[in-house]
């Protein structure tokens, strides 16, 4: 059998020097409005989330707003409008978030009342209802954290399993079937911060209370996935990972994609999203830091990703405990200054890319990278495709190249004889055609780009996949 020959494409400063290659540029559209929210369910292959009515794939692009209750409704409207404008489709916030105004919202209302703090405060939850309705009007899902269990900021730790069952039933019943509500059975709710039986009690009660009409997950401690403790829990619909969260250099270097990929490989198959990684600070950070984490986690098999900014999760200046401000410096004096950072303007482009290819059959496959694999997160080539691992049945392959470097990809994974190839720019959403309808070489070498990060997209030419959907 003949060995596959290698074809080399070379690009310098935007000029294609190969005589066979030509270039077109297609400007991506603004973030698409998602339309009516129909609720979510797990896909049939248990890897992704889909629209509960249409079955269309839904990629979760979330924003972290733990302390959202510190804002009044008119301020929350400003925040939600901004998130919709920037292509987010989910916001995450915690009820009863400590140390937010002594555990009350901006109107002085505590979430939970009664002798053992397990009754829902009608006044607080009228405000919560308004937030959820506003979010739906902005085409946003709301991931509601029942409470927090973290070592320094936890209130969940003070509840018994029986009390959490009572509270979970009440919360689940209140929002049962509300299409844009996802429940989270606690923030940082894994040992050693809290015992598994108490989290299981809350998660099961939420699922029972909503009669299975809403998805339920749980947020783990760092660096873990909820699969480590709750893989067999009947109430858990999808896993969530927390990588090395924070905003320092060590957090930037942490291999978040490894957490997601580990979940992909376990026997109890469920979708996985990266729920917390490196927080952005200020307004001048290189957006490549956020893009790199996003694309690596998603290409490793993630069904979603949560972005975070130090000023937005705290709703600066509302969270002002000294230990928090030392660990998570917001970099701005007010949360509104963090609504429009360069990274925030760019993250939604990944949806354009993902929805342009068959989504629900996407798998991670690092064997596609034959040469040029980096040695760390900053130089990683993260590869994905559709089809079955080990079989040459892909109709497309995509490789996220984290920094300028030459890469050789295994195009033999696509059985088609003719291919199309293009570059996708994660910073702009633009698609740059490399070549159309060329013979499949088996090995395809792409020369080093001049700067930044890129996604190489190679497709079966007969499929005619859209690049701007």
pLDDT for 192 equals 86
pLDDT for 313 equals 93
Q: Are 196 and 151 in contact (CB under 8 A)?
A: no
pLDDT for 12 equals 34
Q: How many CB atoms lie within 10 A of CB 344?
A: 24
Q: Which residues of 240-256 are buried (b: 16+ CB within 10 A; e: fewer)?
A: bbbbbbbbeeebbebbb
**Geometric angle at alpha carbon 426, from 382 and 462, rounded to 5°:** 75
Residue tagged 């844009």 (tokens): 180
Q: Are 277 and 245 in contact (CB under 8 A)?
A: yes
pLDDT for 158 equals 87
- CATH number for the domain running over 40-347: 3.20.20.80
Beta strands in 43-117 (DSSP E): 49-51, 60-64, 90-94, 112-113
Residue tagged 């509500």 (tokens): 181
Q: How many CB atoms lie within 10 A of CB 45?
A: 11
Beta strands in 172-321 (DSSP E): 181-184, 216-217, 224-225, 239-246, 272-278, 304-307
Q: Are 147 and 96 in contact (CB under 8 A)?
A: yes
Per-residue tens of pLDDT for the chain, all 469 residues:
443 444 454 433 333 333 333 333 333 334 445 457 999 999 999 999 999 999 999 999 999 999 999 999 999 999 999 999 999 999 999 998 765 435 689 999 999 999 999 999 999 999 999 999 999 999 999 999 999 887 666 788 889 999 999 999 999 999 999 999 999 999 999 998 899 999 999 999 999 999 999 999 999 998 999 999 999 999 999 999 998 766 566 677 889 999 999 999 999 999 999 999 999 999 999 999 999 999 999 999 999 999 999 999 999 998 756 677 777 889 999 999 999 999 999 999 999 999 999 999 999 999 999 999 999 999 999 999 999 999 999 999 999 999 999 999 999 999 999 999 999 999 999 999 999 999 999 999 999 988 899 999 999 999 988 764 4
pLDDT for 153 equals 64
- In terms of Cα–Cα distance, which of 140, 157, 455 is closest to 298? 455
H/E stretch holding 199 reads helix 196-209
The DSSP secondary-structure symbol of 29 reads P
63 Cβ neighbours under 8 A, 6+ residues apart? 83, 88, 90, 91, 92, 306, 307, 308, 312
pLDDT for 162 equals 97
In angstroms, what CA-CA distances link 64 with 31, 169, 278, 347?
19, 25, 11, 14
pLDDT for 329 equals 85
Q: Within the chain, which residue ranges are assigned CATH 3.20.20.80?
A: 40-347
Instruction: Determine if the peptide bond prior to 99 is cis (ω within 30°).
Output: yes
pTM: 0.92
pLDDT for 453 equals 96
Helix (H, G, I), strand (E, B) or coil at 345: helix
The 3-state DSSP composition of the chain as helix, strand, coil percent (nearest 5) reads: 30, 25, 45
Q: How many CB atoms lie within 10 A of CB 50?
A: 20
Sign (positive or negative) of CA dihedral 277, 383, 427, 88: negative
pLDDT for 396 equals 98
In angstroms, what CA-CA distances link 340 with 78, 83, 84, 277, 286?
12, 9, 12, 19, 13
- Where helices occur in 232-330 by DSSP H, the ranges are 249-253, 256-265, 288-299, 310-314, 322-327
How many whole angstroms separate alpha carbon 261 and alpha carbon 263? 5
How many whole angstroms separate alpha carbon 125 and alpha carbon 141? 17
In angstroms, what CA-CA distances link 72 with 39, 98, 208?
26, 17, 31
The DSSP secondary-structure symbol of 280 reads B
């Amino acid at each position: 059998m003949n060995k596959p020959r290698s074809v080399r494409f070379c690009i310098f400063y935007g000029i294609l020097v190969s005589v066979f290659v030509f270039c077109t540029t297609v400007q991506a559209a603004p973030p698409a409005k998602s339309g009516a929210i129909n609720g979510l369910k797990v896909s049939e292959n248990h890897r992704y989330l889909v629209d509960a009515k249409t079955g269309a794939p839904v990629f979760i692009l979330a924003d972290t707003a733990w302390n959202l209750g510190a804002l009044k409704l008119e301020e929350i409207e400003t925040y939600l409008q901004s998130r919709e404008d920037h292509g987010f489709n989910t916001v995450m916030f915690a009820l009863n978030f400590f140390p937010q105004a002594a555990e009350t919202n901006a109107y002085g209302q505590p979430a939970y009342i009664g002798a053992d703090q397990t009754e829902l405060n009608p006044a607080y939850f009228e405000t919560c209802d308004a937030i959820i309705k506003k979010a739906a009007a902005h085409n946003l899902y709301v991931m509601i954290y029942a409470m927090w269990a973290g070592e320094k900021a936890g209130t969940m730790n003070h509840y018994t399993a029986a009390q959490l069952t009572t509270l979970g039933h009440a919360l689940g019943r209140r929002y049962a079937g509300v299409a844009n509500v996802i429940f989270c059975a606690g923030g940082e709710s894994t040992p050693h911060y809290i015992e598994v039986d108490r989290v299981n009690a809350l998660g099961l009660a939420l699922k029972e209370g909503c009669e299975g009409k809403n998805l339920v997950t749980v947020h783990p401690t760092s660096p873990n996935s909820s699969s480590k403790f709750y893989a067999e829990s009947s109430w858990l619909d999808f896993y969530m990972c927390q990588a090395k969260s924070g905003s320092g250099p060590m957090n930037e270097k942490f291999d978040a994609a490894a957490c997601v990929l580990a979940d992909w490989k376990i026997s109890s198959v469920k979708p996985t999203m990266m729920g917390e990684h490196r927080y952005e600070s200020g307004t001048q950070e290189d957006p490549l830091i956020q893009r790199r984490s996003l694309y690596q986690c998603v290409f490793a098999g993630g069904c979603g990703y949560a972005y975070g900014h130090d000023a937005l999760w705290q709703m600066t200046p509302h969270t002002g405990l000294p230990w928090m401000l030392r660990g998570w410096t917001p970099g701005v004096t007010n949360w509104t200054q963090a609504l429009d950072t360069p990274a925030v303007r760019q993250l939604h482009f990944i949806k354009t890319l993902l929805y342009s290819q068959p989504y629900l059959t996407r798998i991670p496959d690092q064997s596609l990278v034959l040469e040029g694999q980096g040695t760390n997160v900053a130089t990683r080539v993260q590869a994905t495709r559709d089809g079955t691992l080990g079989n040459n049945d892909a109709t497309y392959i995509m490789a996220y190249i984290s920094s300028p470097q030459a890469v050789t990809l295994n195009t033999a994974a696509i059985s088609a004889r003719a291919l199309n190839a293009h570059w996708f720019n994660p910073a702009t959403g633009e698609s740059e055609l490399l070549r159309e309808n060329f013979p499949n070489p088996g090995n395809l070498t792409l020369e080093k780009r001049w700067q930044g990060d890129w996604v190489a997209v190679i497709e079966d030419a007969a499929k005619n996949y859209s690049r701007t959907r």
